[in-house]
Structure 1
Amino acid sequence: MCIGALDVSPSFPLCRRVSKKSRIRVHRLTRWRRRSCNGEMMVMGTELELKNLKLYLENRNIMEENAKLREKASLLHQENQVLMLELQNKKFSHVV
């Protein structure tokens, strides 16, 4: 009935040209819906970025702590080897 939204006849009130205000309202509503959906996605994206950053920093701290513990373990191993050598030298010195 309404091709091109033209007013065909006064007997068809729905076939009148859509007013400019209505088009603007619909356009604004559509834009608002898009923004709200994009806003939700942006919030989710921001939350994920923050969570990712927190996990990255936590992982980096764990790796730094791991490196420190490896260094301590290496020093303790060296100290243990030195003490074992001293103990063996004392055993052999008492035998002779």
Structure 2
Amino acid sequence: MDDEPWPGVVEVQFTDAAGRCWSLVDKAPIFAAMGELGPDSAYPVEVTVACAVAGGHGLPENDEVVTVSTSPHGVTTPDGREEFTVRQDQLIR
């Protein structure tokens, strides 16, 4: 989105379990600690977002979807949302 302030701000998009597209905006290192995001990067780039299972201590074994919170790094949508229902196959343990 912008190279200022350094290290730059990026918008990350993902689709939840219901098919709705969401945007998260934050500094590049929040999404890619190894410097994969920069002015010369070829976008789109696959990144990860730190999250925690909401209201639990682990992933439910038999559910196809799970509610997660992006609160570990304080990442939210522009309107402040931090909880999302996603498919389990979208998560990396």
**TM-score, normalised to structure 2's length?**
0.17
Greater share of residues in helix? 1
Greater share of residues in strand? 2
